[in-house]
Structures are given as structure tokens and as C-alpha cells.
Homo-oligomer: A and B are copies of this chain.
Amino acid sequence: MSDFTSAQHEDVKALRRLVGRRSARSEAGLCVVEGSKVVAEALHAGADITRLFVAGDYWDEVVEQLTSTKCVVRRLAGGVLEGILDTVSPQPVVALVASPIQASLDVLGSLSSATPFVVVGVDIRDPGNAGTMIRSAELAGASAVIFLGTSVDVSSPKVVRSSAGALFHVPVIQRDDTLNTLRSLQSFGYRVVGTAVHGTAVDYCSHGALSGRVAVVLGNEARGVDSETASVVDGFVTIAMVGRTESLNVSMAATVLCFEAARQRSIQR
């Protein structure tokens, strides 16, 4: 147990690049997954785990399980992993996993649900918000989550972490071209519904507001749904708020909308 992989080893240098650089993750088709709980989610989902980095002599069930597979396990001396990870409380287990993030919309053509709902984030900048959106969408039964425009790279360690591994259980798509993608959704029969804080939007709870084949679009943290996106959507919903503080943040709004979409589906059954 005392033969630690050197910090100069090619695999460790690769890990450092993959943690820090979107281009490195994109070229390798990998994402960095921190913590045994989230690695276990990837494992259960059947994701391809290529490398496991373990701090010192740390040992748990996930490490044991992966040691008996073709996954290469690298043990690093104390402090090496902590130096690479960008977290307040670094995890003793980090895996490189084939990225589940897709660029193609093809998956939307083969959904089992007749009335799928899809969550779309446009220009979502905060990794915690992006991760929470994926987590809530998956828990509520969304068929896919799509990030568009200048959204944060969804394969980044922070997004993977805050999704609690949900991105291994629901299709996640990332693309730049917001307007074309929304038009494609419409051509696939989706009603594309924007979210608005005020204005002439329909109450999100009202009959049929989120039912049927629907894509719910959430906008940037500061600006909301921008005017270009607004020009494409089929309509708007709003979450009526009686409180006096500033509105829900985007991930809380997404959570409320996802569970309401699930409710509207369950009462139709």
C-alpha cells in the first residue's frame, strides 16, 4: 500500500489538466468525478470509469469494487490530490469517467414518454445552479436537460459534484446555438416555454401550463431569458411570489417547475 504514484506521473498531470481546462476535458471526452458517492452513481449507471485516484491508504467499497475491474487505480501520497482539486473539502477518491454530456439532440427522438418534459438552461453561469438543475430534473423525472449559449461547461468538476451524480442518470446535452436548438425542439413537437419573473406570463400551476411535450427554458442568473430567446419561445410561465425579497434563484425556480411538471403529468395518468 505504500507505493504511491508520483505527482509527476503522466496520469496525475492529465488529471490536473482535466480538472482545470474545459478544452482538455472536451478533447479527452472525460469528466472528473469527486467523491465515492458520486463515483458510485457513475458506476451504477454503467459509465466507463477509466482511472481512479485515491489519497494515501484510503479504502472503501467503491475503491474495492473498482479495483476488481479494468479501471486503473492510482494511489497518491498525502497532499497530492488536495493540491489538484478545487474544493474546500477535497475528497479522497477521484475518478476519470467517460463524459455523459452529449452535443446531439438525437436522444430526444427516442424517449419512452409520450409527454416528455425537458429542462433548458440558457447562459447558466454558476456551476452550482447547473448541477442543482440536473439533480432536480432527474429526480422529478425530466427526460433530458439541455444547456445552451454561454452556459458553464457541464463536464466541470463543480457541476458534476453539485448534480450529485444525476448527470449519469438523465441525458444531458450541451450546445452553443441557443436559437437553432430551440427551433429544433419545436420541430420535434415540443412547446418551448420561457420563464419570466413578471409580465403577461401564465401561472406555472395553471391547467396545462407544463403538460404535454414541453421544454421549460430558464435564463441567465442576472438577466433571465434574453430578448433573442424570448422571440423564439411559444409562451411564458411565471412562478407567482407573494414574498417581498428578490425572486427565487434559477436553480430553485427550476426545482419548483420540475416538480410541478411532474405533478401535472401524474394527475393526467
Q: Are B138 and A244 in contact (CB under 8 A)?
A: yes
Q: Take A256-B259, A262-B242 as given contacts and tell me if A248 and B205 are in contact as well, using a CB distance cutoff of 8 Å.
A: no
Q: Are A169 and B139 in contact (CB under 8 A)?
A: no
Q: Is A87 an interface residue (CB 8 A)?
A: no
Min CB–CB distance A252 → chain B (angstroms) = 5
- Which of the residues B44, B138, B163, B248 comes within 8 Å of A136, measured between beta carbons? B248
Question: Interface residues of A toward B: which range?
Answer: 35 or more
- Cα distance A243–B141 when bound, in Å? 6
Q: Whose C-beta in chain B lies nearest to the C-beta of A44?
A: B244
Q: Which of A66-123 contact B (CB under 8 A)?
A: none
Q: Which of A237-269 contact B (CB under 8 A)?
A: 239-248, 252, 255-256, 259-260, 262-263, 266-267
Q: Are B244 and A169 in contact (CB under 8 A)?
A: yes
Min CB–CB distance A156 → chain B (angstroms) = 18
Q: Take A252-B132, A255-B255, A256-B256 as given contacts and tell me if A166 and B243 are in contact as well, using a CB distance cutoff of 8 Å.
A: yes
Which residues of chain B are near A37, meaning CB under 8 Å? 246
Q: Are A243 and B138 in contact (CB under 8 A)?
A: yes
Q: Is A41 an interface residue (CB 8 A)?
A: yes
- Cα distance A135–B247 when bound, in Å? 9
- Which of the residues B44, B164, B245, B248 comes within 8 Å of A165, measured between beta carbons? B245
Q: Are A245 and B136 in contact (CB under 8 A)?
A: no
Q: Whose C-beta in chain B lies nearest to the C-beta of A258?
A: B256
Listed in ascending order, the chain A residues whose CB lies under 8 Å from chain B are 37, 41, 44-45, 132, 135-136, 138-141, 163-166, 169-170, 205, 239-248, 252, 255-256, 259-260, 262-263, 266-267
Can you list the 9 inter-chain pairs with the closest CB atoms, starting with the nearest? Answer: A139-B243, A141-B242, A138-B243, A166-B245, A139-B241, A169-B244, A205-B263, A256-B259, A252-B255
Known: A138-B245, A140-B242, A259-B260. 12 other contacts (CB 8 A): A37-B246, A44-B244, A135-B252, A140-B241, A141-B243, A164-B246, A205-B267, A242-B262, A252-B252, A255-B255, A256-B256, A256-B259
